[in-house]
Amino acid sequence: MSGKLLLASIHDVGPRFEREVDQLAGLLAGILGGPKFAMLVVPDHWGEAPLAQNKAFQARLRDWADQGVEMFVHGWFHKDLAEHSGAAAFKARHMTAGEGEFLGLSREVAAQRMADGRKLIEDAIGREVAGFIAPAWLYGEGVRAALADSGFALAEDHMRVWRPSDGKVLAKGPVITWASRSVPRQLSSRFFAGLARHALHPQKVMRIAVHPGDTTVPALLHSIAQTYTAYARRRPAGRYADLLTP
C-alpha cells in the first residue's frame, strides 16, 4: 500500500437492522462516490435475527459483495453472556453495553463461532470474507489465540489492524466512531470526531466506523457526514485488503 487511505465501515449488518444499514450505505456511497466501504456482518444478532433463515438478506449481502463491498465476520450473537473479572470486567462495563461477545470466550468456543460465521457468510456472498472483527472491538486472551489459527486475513481493534497469522500490524491509530446510547456519549463522540477532522489528517490510514444506532440521532448523522466528507476530500476511500499489498 502506498499513500494515505480512508477505510469506511458499517457495523452490525444483518436482518435486524436492514433499514438502518440501507440508510448508512446510501449516506456513505453518496460521500465516497460508490459502495467503497466494508460491512461487518452479525450472523444472529442477540439470537433474534438469524441470517441463516433469511434468504432475502443473504441475497442482499451477495449483491453488495458483487459491487465491491468487503464483508467481515462480526462475531455470532454480538451479545456478551460471559462473567468477567479484573480488567475484562472494566471493559465489559464501560466500553460497551453488553455487546462484547468475544471478550470472555474460551479458545474453543471462539474458534467454533468464527468458523460457523465464516461459513455462513461466505456461502451467502459466494467468496471469501475479508476478515474477522470482534463485536465492540474487544478480544479476550482465548479469542486472540483462536484468531491466530483461524485463517482470517485481517483483524481489527480500536487502535490497529493486524494480520492474525503472524500478528503483523498493518495500520495504527484510533478509529473514529460514534456512540448513540446516551446523551453524554453522543456529545463526547461528536467532540472527538470534530477534533479528529482537524488533528488526525497526518495519520496514514484513517478508519471511520458507523453503527445502526447512529441513524436515530440527527446530530450524529450530521457529524458522520462532516467527518467522512473531510477525509474523502484529502484521501481516497479504499479497501482493507489494500493493507495486504506491499
Please state, in angstroms and rounded to a whole number, the distance separating the CA atoms of residues 157 and 108: 21
The cell numbers describing 133, all together, are 472483527
Q: Is the pLDDT of residue 85 over 90?
A: no
Q: Give the domain extent around 209.
A: 5-244
- List, as own/partner pairs, every contact residues 154-160 make where C-beta atoms lie below 8 angstroms and the sequence separation is at least 24, other chains included: 154/72, 154/130, 154/240, 154/241, 154/243, 154/244, 155/131, 156/131, 156/207, 156/240
Q: Which residue has the cell 455462513?
A: 120
Q: Which residues contact 184 (CB under 8 A, 6 or more apart)?
A: none
pTM strictly above 0.75:
yes
- The residue among 46, 97, 52, 95 whose CA lies nearest residue 75 is 46
> What CATH number is associated with residue 156?
3.20.20.370
The cell numbers describing 241, all together, are 485488503
| pLDDT, tens only, 29-45 | 999 999 999 999 999 99
Mean of the pLDDT values across residues 4-21?
Answer: 98
Average pLDDT score, the chain: 92
Sign of the CA dihedral 12, 160, 32, 242? negative
Q: Is the pLDDT of residue 91 over 50?
A: no
| pLDDT, tens only, 209-244 | 999 999 999 999 999 999 999 999 999 999 999 999
Contact 190, 220 (CB under 8 A): yes
Per DSSP, helices labelled H in 79-130 are 86-94, 107-125
| pLDDT, tens only, 124-144 | 999 999 999 999 999 999 999
φ, ψ (nearest 5 deg) of residue 109: -65, -40
Count Cα atoms within 13 angstroms, Cβ side, for 137.
15
How many domains, in total, are found in the chain? 1
Helix (H) or strand (E) holding 72: strand 70-73
More confident residue, 70 or 78: 70
**DSSP helix/strand/coil, 61:** helix
Quote the crossing angle between the two packed helices 107-125 and 55-66, to the nearest 10°.
Answer: 80
